[in-house]
């Protein structure tokens, strides 16, 4: 038997499901534009979690190494990031996803209202989406999970730079660096609020 990797026979569908969900998001955006609303997001990024990262995550969480754990316990094999211009756009996107009939929000974490202690801000959703593809759970035909991270451009810039530095250097050991990063995150958050206020003022003057 050839080893198919942790996603097994389901691996070949992941990319297609990611693309389908990204298309559905772009349809939501187009509908907003057609209704003379501002765009929902600046850009979308999608990724499939690498098999070795998924094996590492399952081991770390104490799950058995199986497709079921990778797709049904971890729930972030498919990841989509929605990068928005303004904070309001993040919440508008979430409400449209809540109302959408093609997905169900099964978990949410609001790291915008309550940022992580290091300053990380983002809104995380786990969506359960129905697809025509076979699913790992026979009792749950054609369902896959997708992790969606929604954040502003400012939050995204911070998270990218922090991620880059965290992986290249051991910043956790430096209290000063951790403190400076937190300060940057809070300054960016304050800019997001100012920008939101400016947009509101512009709308009122229109
Ligand atoms: P893991 O997926 O094992 O991390 O656990 P979880 O699903 O409980 O974590 P959570 O929802 O808090 O975070 C999931 C993802 O958010 C991570 O894989 C990162 O992409 C992102 N994330 C969370 N915290 C941070 C952070 O402090 N800095 C950065 N740059 N990204 C973060
Ligand atoms: Mg996760």
Instruction: Give tens-digit pLDDT for 62-77.
Output: 999 999 999 999 999 9
Name the DSSP class of 9: G
Q: 73 and 165 share a domain?
A: no
Distance 88 CA to ligand 1 centre (A): 22
Q: Which domain holds residue 60?
A: 8-153
Euclidean distance between CA atoms 179 and 190, whole angstroms: 17
Euclidean distance between CA atoms 95 and 100, whole angstroms: 9
Distance 46 CA to ligand 1 centre (A): 15
Mean pLDDT estimate for the chain: 94
Q: Is residue 2 included in any domain, yes or no?
A: no
Name the DSSP class of 66: S
Give me the CATH number covering residue 41: 3.30.460.10
The three-class DSSP label of residue 147 is: strand
Q: Which of 116, 145, 184 to mutate to test the pocket of ligand 1 (most atoms within 8 A of CB)?
A: 116
Which of 178, 127, 173, 176 is CA-nearest to residue 148? 127
189 contacts: CB under 8 Å, gap ≥ 6: 115, 121, 154, 155
Distance 146 CA to ligand 2 centre (A): 10
Q: Which helix (H) or strand (E) holds 99?
A: helix 87-99
Q: What is residue 1's predicted lDDT score, i.e. its pLDDT?
A: 39
Q: 44 and 137 share a domain?
A: yes
Ligand nearest to the CA of 60: 1
Distance 76 CA to ligand 2 centre (A): 5
pLDDT band at 3; cut points 50, 70, 90: low
Ligand nearest to the CA of 53: 1
Q: 49 and 143 share a domain?
A: yes
pLDDT single digits (tens) 92-138: 999 999 999 999 999 999 999 999 999 999 999 999 999 999 888 76
86 contacts: CB under 8 Å, gap ≥ 6: 152, 192, 195, 196, 199
Ligand nearest to the CA of 122: 1
Q: Is residue 61 included in any domain, yes or no?
A: yes
Domain count, the chain: 2
Q: 75 and 93 share a domain?
A: yes
Q: 110 and 62 share a domain?
A: yes
Which of 124, 117, 98 is CA-nearest to residue 28? 98
Q: 129 and 84 share a domain?
A: yes
Of 134, 153, 172, the one marking the end of a domain is 153
Q: What is residue 194's predicted lDDT score, i.e. its pLDDT?
A: 97
Q: Is the pLDDT of residue 2 over 60?
A: no
Q: 34 and 98 share a domain?
A: yes
Q: Is residue 198 included in any domain, yes or no?
A: yes
pLDDT single digits (tens) 168-196: 877 777 889 899 999 999 999 999 999 99
Residues facing residue 48 across a β-bridge:
78
Q: Is residue 89 included in any domain, yes or no?
A: yes
Q: Which residue's CA is the closest to the ligand 1 atom numbered 27?
A: 120
Q: 166 and 82 share a domain?
A: no
56 contacts: CB under 8 Å, gap ≥ 6: none
Q: 121 and 199 share a domain?
A: no
């Amino acid at each position: 038997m050839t080893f198919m990797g942790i996603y097994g026979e389901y691996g070949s569908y992941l990319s297609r499901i990611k693309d389908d969900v990204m298309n559905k998001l772009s349809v939501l955006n187009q509908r907003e534009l057609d209704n003379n609303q501002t765009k929902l997001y600046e850009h979308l990024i999608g990724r499939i979690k690498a098999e070795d990262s998924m094996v590492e995550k399952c081991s770390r969480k104490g799950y058995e190494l199986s497709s079921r754990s990778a797709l049904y316990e971890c729930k972030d094999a498919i990841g989509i990031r929605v990068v928005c211009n303004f904070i309001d756009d993040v919440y508008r996107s979430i409400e449209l996803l809540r109302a959408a009939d093609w997905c169900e929000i099964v978990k949410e974490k609001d790291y915008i209202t309550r940022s992580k202690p290091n300053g990380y801000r983002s809104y995380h959703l786990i969506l359960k989406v129905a697809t025509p593809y076979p699913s790992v759970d026979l009792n749950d035909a054609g369902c896959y999970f997708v992790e969606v991270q929604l954040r502003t451009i400012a939050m995204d810039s911070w998270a990218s730079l922090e991620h880059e530095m965290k992986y290249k250097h051991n910043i956790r050991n430096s209290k000063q660096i951790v403190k400076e990063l937190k300060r940057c995150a809070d300054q960016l958050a304050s800019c997001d609020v100012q920008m939101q206020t400016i947009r509101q003022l512009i709308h009122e003057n229109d």
